[in-house]
């Protein structure tokens, strides 16, 4: 399976104040999100979402809220025609020291096992250094996008792109 692992908040959806998505109305795609996913899909990549949702640990949202919001999120991506294989989510906070929270690679490794993804040729794309670290720890290629509210460079990323669309173009041109 040819796949791209994508972070959600700040990468696929705009999260300008790092407020965390608390309801469906907080789900705002970037202007180029649909086009980016369509481009990846047209070039044979399936999409797997890898997201930390510490808002659950902090009590901002419940797990049920998250599941409902995730359904709406996946629906919003439908116009792209992309296959969203699954959303992997860590509900823990930083202090929980769990096994799944990025920068740990477990969610990516689980997804690779579930969908028989070749990690060496897969990409992890995200807006934070912890996304890049998770990709590297899992053995994927990595692309950083500069779409976070506060951009912190990840010098160890294979490539840094201004936007998700630029990331998609890089992936296609370099595969
Ligand atoms: Mg993010
Ligand atoms: Zn976790």
CATH of the domain at 119: 3.40.50.1000
Ligand nearest to the CA of 54: 2
d(CA 115, CA 2): 9
How far apart are the C-alpha atoms of 135 and 131, rounded to whole Å? 6
Ligand lying nearest the CA atom of residue 89: 2
Element (H, E) at 51: strand 46-52
pLDDT value at position 168? Answer: 98
Give the ranges where the chain is alpha helix by DSSP (H): 33-42, 54-57, 63-77, 106-115, 129-138, 164-173
- Residues of the domain holding 38: 3-173
CB 45 within 8 A of CB 5: no
Question: Which pLDDT score, from 0 to 100, does residue 151 have?
Answer: 92
Domains in the chain: how many in total? 1
* Cα(136) to centroid(ligand 2), Å: 18
Distance 109 CA to ligand 2 centre (A): 14
Check residue 19 and give its pLDDT. Answer: 67
Show pLDDT as tens, one digit a residue, over the chain (175 residues).
899 999 999 999 998 777 678 999 999 999 999 999 999 999 999 999 999 999 999 999 999 999 999 999 999 999 999 999 999 999 999 999 999 999 999 999 999 999 999 999 999 999 999 999 999 999 999 999 999 988 999 999 999 999 999 999 999 999 9
The ligand placed nearest to the CA atom of residue 102 is 2
As a whole number of angstroms, the distance between CA 159 and CA 123 comes to 11
Q: What is the pLDDT of residue 15?
A: 86
Q: Which ligand is nearest to the CA of 154?
A: 1
């Amino acid at each position: 399976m040819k796949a791209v692992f994508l972070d959600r908040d700040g990468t696929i959806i705009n999260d300008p104040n790092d407020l965390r998505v608390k309801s469906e109305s907080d789900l705002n795609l970037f202007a180029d999100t649909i086009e980016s996913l369509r481009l990846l899909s047209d070039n044979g990549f399936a999409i797997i979402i890898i997201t930390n949702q510490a808002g659950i640990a902090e009590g901002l949202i419940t797990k049920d809220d998250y599941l409902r919001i995730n359904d709406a999120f996946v629906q919003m991506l439908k116009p792209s025609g992309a296959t969203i294989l699954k959303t992997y989510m860590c509900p823990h906070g930083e202090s929980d020291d769990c096994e799944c929270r990025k920068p740990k690679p477990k969610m990516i490794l689980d997804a690779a096992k579930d969908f028989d993804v070749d990690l060496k040729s897969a990409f992890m794309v995200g807006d934070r250094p912890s996304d890049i670290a998770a990709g590297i720890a899992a053995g994927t290629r990595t692309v950083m996008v500069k779409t976070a509210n506060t951009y912190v460079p990840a010098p160890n990323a294979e490539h840094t792109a201004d936007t998700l669309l630029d990331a998609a173009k890089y992936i296609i041109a370099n595969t």
